[in-house]
Structure 1
Amino acid sequence: MFKKFANIQAILKSRVFFFLQVDKNAELVARWYYCALSQEKLRRPIVACELGRLYNKDAIIEFLLDKSADKAPVEAALHIKSIKNVTELNLADNPAWSGDKESIKGDKYDDIQSARFICPVVGLEMNGRHRFCFLRNCGCVFSERALKEIKSEVCHKCGVPFQEEDVIILNGNKEDVEVLKKRMEDRRLKSKLEKKSKKCKPAESASQQDTAEESPGPSKAKNGKDCISSSSGEKRQIIFTKSSDNGNSSVPGKVNKASSTTTKRSIADSEEKSEAYKSIFTSHSSAKRSKEECSNWITHTAYYF
């Protein structure tokens, strides 16, 4: 009796282990082969969020464009506020994978160990059994083993420089997600502070210019000239000169009226100009003719006849 009970218990344990293994494989397939938002098969262009989840790009765009009030909240995309929060992945195709290339009729066995994409450095398949990550700067995807074994400060594929904070684990465990979530929050807070500082700088410069215009300080005369603004908005220039009055210099600040007034000379009295040039103007003697010498101008119009 005891032996039969032990055999039944062993059979139950094996079945429970089998079902757990099936659930684990199903979860693995769902993470690496299907979009986390639309639950459709992943197809290019594929994007990843800052927490390392995989999406179809068109599903993310539809999610962001849907502004309806009755939109159901999706936990997998609540942290995505704009298209800038996701990165388009630069994936390397697996030459041994022929999933969509073959047209097989009837039943087909899908081998989840065979992946569509691989690591371009060490050749590991991206099927969930190995840890993969991507770089936020360029979107290139590598296995974690490749980044650890071949340490570099630039991308192995495109040469873009990156830091440790730019490396994001794809479909990581709970600990990885917590670390990535904290990095995401710090990064967004830093970007908000930078935007505020950029907005405050032009406002401060504008306020400084306004205060400088309101209080320009005492005006100083330069090169003996001072500029006084009149009520009409025009500017009148006053020249300060020194004149001798019985051997004494004039008081500074007085305006020399003789220098400020300009004398007008007629072009007809000018000796530098020629007679041909002078005859153009009305001040010339040829222009001063009597009425008898001047000819009458007649204009033929329709009203004249």
Structure 2
Amino acid sequence: MGCDGGTIPRRDELVRVKKKPEAKDKDAELAFKWKCCAITQETLQEPIVMCHLGKLYSKMCLIEALLDRSALPETCRHIKSLKDVKNLNLTKNPEYKNERKKEGSLDSRASPYICPVLGLEMSGKFRFVALWSCGCVFSERALKEVSTKTCHKCTKPFEENDVVILNGNEEDLELMKTRMEIRRHKNKKNKEKKIKEEIGATSTNGEAEGPSNGETSYKAGKRPTSDAGSSCAQEAKKLKSNALKLDNSDMLKSMIVT
């Protein structure tokens, strides 16, 4: 403790002070979300995909996790198949260099992707959005400043529910969940409509062609024959003809020998 004339004790040596919790580096946390896969926590590798909630994944890592469901974290259980993710059409940053420093860490001074409209870096400092209809990515500022219903990059039309906020906050996640349900309900309706159209087309084609051979024979008092039965009958005829040919060839050989 000291007090022997040689040392002077400090206050933290005499009084136990409650340590403050370590403050998180928000900038580093944001950069981590934008550069690392949400499943493996490793650096994102192309092709990069997003889910309905706006989280980013390396596609190969996601496929491996879907094959082994135990490797899929609870926060990603809303992904049932590859239909629940969208390939991203990203714009590369020409100033980004994927080089390592002397210490061995990656150079994080520039982001690998930027907004194609305003040139803002996709590093977490600016809010970015993606369109579910085409997969193009650009900044939220560009979406607000250039108000249009066509994509700024590929000019494909989109709806408000197609806009997905990437790595959003808790309020954004609630909005993304609502839009996810709307998109799924819309896809279900489109599938049902397509099936009904296909059924209607086949029924109209059948009526236009008129009654089949089975129906005409039934009306004439004959028993209708199915396709499977007719094919079996044809196969039987072929077998009989082959057998007769073999018998005739054997008889000819016996006559020649005698």
Per the alignment, do residues 153 and 192 of structure 1 end up closer, same or farther by CA in structure 2, a change over 3 Å counting?
Answer: closer
Deviations 1:25-54 (A, max 9, x none): 342132111100111101211111110000
Which structure 1 residue ranges, 5 or more long, are not aligned?
A: 5-11, 214-228, 235-301
The alignment status of 1:152 with 2:154, answered yes or no, reads no
Other-structure match for 1:184: 180
What residue number does 1:105 align with? Answer: 102
Does the 8 Å CA contact 1:36/1:76 hold for their aligned counterparts?
no
DSSP-derived class of the 2:49 partner: strand
Conserved? CA contact 1:37–1:76, under 8 Å: no
Q: 2:112 aligns with which of 106, 111, 116?
A: 116
Q: Does 1:167 align with 2:179?
A: no
Q: Partner of 2:30: helix, strand, or coil? A: helix
Q: Does 1:89 align with 2:85?
A: no
SS of the residue aligned with 2:157? coil
Q: CA deviation at 1:89?
A: 0.9
Partners of 1:198 and 1:54 lie apart in 2 by 31
How many Å apart are 1:194 and its aligned residue? Answer: 3.8
> CA offset at residue 118 of structure 1?
0.8
Whole-Å separation in 2 of the counterparts to 1:205 and 1:94: 50
Q: For 2:197 and 2:106, how far apart are their aligned partners in 1?
A: 63
CA contact (8 A) 1:134 1:140 kept: yes
* Aligned match of 2:23: 20
Question: Contact 1:133–1:141 at 8 Å: present in 2 too?
Answer: yes
User: Is the alpha carbon distance of 1:106 and 1:118 closer, same or farther for their aligned partners in structure 2, counting shifts above 3 Å?
Assistant: same
| DSSP 3-state at the match of 2:23 | helix
Deviation, 1:94, is: 1.3
Output one character per residue of 1:228-283: Cα deviation in whole Å (capped at 9) or x when no partner.
Answer: x553469xxxxxxxxxxxxxxxxxxxxxxxxxxxxxxxxxxxxxxxxxxxxxxxxx
* Structure 1 residue 187 displacement after superposition: 1.9
Q: Distance in 2 between matches of 1:103 and 1:204?
A: 61
Secondary structure, aligned partner of 2:172: helix
**Mapped partners of 1:148, 1:93: distance in 2:** 22
Figure out how many residues of one structure are paired with residues of the other and give that number.
202
Q: Which has the higher contact order (CA 8 A, sep 6+)?
A: 2
Residue 189 of structure 1: CA displacement? 2.5
SS of the aligned residue for 1:134 comes to: strand
Gap change, CA 1:141 and 1:202, over 3 Å in 2: closer
Task: Report what 2:133 is aligned to.
Answer: 137
The corresponding residue for 1:79 is 78
- Deviation, 1:173, is 0.7
Q: TM-score, normalised by structure 2?
A: 0.66
Corresponding residue for 2:37?
35
Per-residue CA deviations over 1:179-224 (Å, capped at 9, x if unaligned) read 11011112213323443454466668999999xx9xxxxxxxxxxx
- State the secondary structure of the residue aligned to 1:20: coil
SS at match of 1:142: strand
Which string of whole-angstrom CA distances, capped at 9 and with x for unpartnered residues, describes residues 78-107 of structure 1? 111111211111111112222x1x354335
Give the match for residue 127 of structure 1: 123
Note the aligned Cα RMSD (angstroms): 3.6
Q: Does structure 1 retain, via aligned residues, the 8 Å contact 2:114–2:120?
A: yes
Percent identity, please: 47
